Amino acid sequence: MTVIAHFKDVPETARGFSVALGNFDGVHAGHRAVIEGAVAAGGSLGVATFEPPPRQFFRPDDPPFRIYRPARRNARLAELGAKAVFELPFNADMAAMTDEDFARQVLKDGIGASHVTVGFDFRFGRGRMGDAGRLASLGRALGFGVTVIEKIEALGTKASSTAIRESLIAGEPERAAEILGHDWVVDGVVEHGEKRGRTIGFPTANLHLGDLIHPRHGVYAVRARLAGEEHWRSGVANFGRTPTTGIRDPLLETFIFDFDGDIYGQQLEVALVRFLRPELKFDSIDAMVTRMHQDVKDAQAHLAG
């Protein structure tokens, strides 16, 4: 799969695709329906999204909100058959385009889309002036087809990135998984920490989430996998600021069961499966360790079930 981070001077080999256009953060059920619509329209599948997301451009001081990093999103899109991903640069010039400018300069002249598929609530152009109906009208005038996908629901609500974020912030990873179609996975490079866990029998692999959304602080039953591995290992993780041992920036600390390898600097995936309890401040390290042993048992019981 080819990733193209612009829409000007696109190689001829990447033009003429049937393009699924949208956000695709998380590649949830609604996004997959848009992709399926693009496939049904015929031709090679391309996916066009914005990088950075418009929200990040307009509201740079917002808390982290990404569901997946671009590399993980793109890998998922490749699994779904995308031959090219266009990461359309969202900057001041893009934000100033009218809906017609965008359709002509980006979709028609830029990436040369033969067909464009969007969700029913897609908006585009300066001030979100254009909607899916307007895109269909512009497509007819400019010579590309347009398919609009109607609302997809999961658990009785619209399948959306917002619903996934709300579920994770509420400590409901199972609900997020229902919308995503799989467990929510955090990935990153294992970092050196304070190494306090080794002294109490719980060595952890530590990941900073960066611009990924921060789920509810607390303890989770998880599965973890090193880059290149097929097998997922069971574990328990805490995401938070460790109030017992000293407040610091939020960190995901994962204790992998029956594992004692040196994985500093390696890429690790951690799937949040079940929220077990909120993060607590204990009166002593001994009290914290006693509860951690119970957390391990709780996670093992849930993952075994």
More confident residue, 138 or 26: 138
pLDDT band at 15 (very low <50, low <70, confident <90, very high): very high
So what's the pLDDT on residue 242?
80
* 229 has pLDDT over 70: yes
Q: Which residues have C-beta within 8 Å of that of residue 153, sequence separation ≥ 6? A: 159
In the chain, the domains with their CATH numbers are 2-154 (3.40.50.620), 183-304 (2.40.30.30)
- Torsion sign, CA atoms 147, 23, 179, 164: negative
Quote the tokens at residue 170: 């509420």
Q: What are the tens digits of pLDDT across the range 208-228?
A: 999 999 999 999 999 999 988
So what's the pLDDT on residue 110?
97
More confident residue, 158 or 21: 21
Q: Other CB atoms closer than 10 Å to residue 59's CB: what's the count?
A: 11
Q: pTM for the whole thing?
A: 0.89
Q: Other CB atoms closer than 10 Å to residue 276's CB: what's the count?
A: 19
Q: What are the tens digits of pLDDT across the range 54-100?
A: 999 999 999 999 999 999 999 999 999 999 999 999 999 999 999 99
Q: Which amino acid is at 96?
A: A
Closest CA to 26 of 226, 181, 221: 181
Report the C-alpha gap between 302 and 305 in whole angstroms.
Answer: 5
Report the C-alpha gap between 149 and 160 in whole angstroms.
Answer: 13
Q: What are the tens digits of pLDDT across the range 89-148?
A: 999 999 999 999 999 999 999 999 999 999 999 999 999 999 999 999 999 999 999 999
So what's the pLDDT on residue 232?
97
Report the C-alpha gap between 195 and 161 in whole angstroms.
Answer: 35
